[in-house]
């Protein structure tokens, strides 16, 4: 990659690091996820688990589904991984091939956008007498529509698809895959364990599928359908899980 192109990509990654940090600071306080964000994230994680319960239960797709719904989105604090990314940035932009660096940038954009969308949601959900207690599909849908950001929602879904396809394009290269596995010890010794474990889980999960097109197409199609159902004010029964908001626990564990 020419110097100017690498410089532009490095600047893009640096900007995304700052964007992710800004989003994290809004959702994490005193080293813990803000309660209102954890409430939202838990509900969304349960909804994803219900919508894609067949993928989670699948021998072929289960590991990748759990990776998507825990490492790319979940009710947990991603600060250790994000902070590793900030520290390894100088080495990453010098050593990574163009394709790999662009995939990292796309993944960071998903993370940044997701944090921003969630922050807008909790601002709406934190208003009024129903700001605490179990979140209902109706409360969620009202806040979702109040944010009035359908194009950003669609962009988020498409970005997730792009991240999945980019990951699938590299996990079957034996040299790349073995390099990731061999880097486990050195990465932990160097203090980048959280970031390396995230990368390794993604590689292992996607390699296990032997092709991710069906998996990614299914998630994209279903998530776009959920988005449109909410925006079109369709009944929650068409997109939310049964007894949502009533303390129901998913029958399929993500962890």
Q: What is the pLDDT of residues 79-122, one digit of tens each?
A: 888 888 888 888 777 776 676 777 778 888 999 999 999 999 99
| pLDDT value of residue 202 | 87
Calpha distance 252→43 (Å, rounded): 14
10-68 pLDDT, tens digit each = 899 899 999 999 999 999 888 788 999 999 998 999 999 999 999 999 999 999 999 98
Out of 67-81, 107-121, 167-181, 183-197, the most confident range is: 107-121
Q: Which value, to the nearest 10 degrees, does the dihedral of the CA atoms of residues 68, 70, 74, 76 take?
A: -150
Q: Residue 186: phi, psi to the nearest 5?
A: -55, -40
Measure the CA–CA gap between 58 and 9, rounded to whole angstroms: 37
246 pLDDT tier (thresholds 50, 70, 90): very low
pLDDT at 185 over 80: yes
**Which comes out higher in pLDDT, residue 3 or 219?**
219
pLDDT digits (tens, 9 = 90+) for 148-172: 999 999 999 999 999 899 889 888 8
The answer to whether residues 25 and 112 touch, using CB atoms and an 8 Å cutoff, is no
Cross-strand bridge partners of residue 159: none
């Amino acid at each position: 990659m020419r110097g100017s192109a690498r410089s532009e990509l490095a600047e893009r990654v640096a900007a995304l690091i700052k964007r992710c940090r800004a989003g994290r600071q809004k959702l994490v306080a005193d080293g813990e996820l803000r309660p209102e964000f954890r409430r939202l994230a838990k509900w969304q994680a349960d909804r994803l688990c219900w919508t894609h319960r067949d993928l989670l239960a699948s021998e072929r797709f289960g590991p990748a589904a759990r990776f998507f719904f825990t490492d790319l989105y979940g009710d947990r604090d991603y600060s250790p991984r994000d902070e590793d990314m900030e520290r390894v940035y100088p080495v990453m932009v010098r050593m990574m091939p163009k394709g790999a660096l662009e995939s990292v940038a796309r993944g960071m954009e998903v993370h940044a956008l997701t944090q921003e969308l969630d922050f807008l949601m909790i601002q709406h959900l934190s208003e009024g007498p129903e700001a605490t207690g179990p979140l209902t599909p109706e409360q969620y849908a009202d806040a979702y529509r109040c944010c009035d950001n359908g194009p950003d929602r669609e962009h988020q879904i498409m970005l997730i698809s792009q991240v999945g396809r980019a990951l699938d394009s590299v996990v079957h290269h034996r040299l790349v895959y073995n390099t990731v596995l061999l880097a486990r010890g050195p990465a932990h010794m160097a203090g980048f364990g959280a970031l390396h474990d995230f990368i390794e889980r993604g590689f292992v999960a996607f390699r296990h599928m032997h092709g991710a097109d069906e998996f990614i197409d299914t998630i994209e199609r279903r998530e776009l359908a959920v988005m449109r159902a909410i925006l079109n004010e369709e009944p929650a029964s068409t997109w939310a899980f049964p007894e949502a908001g009533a303390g129901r626990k998913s029958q399929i564990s993500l962890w």
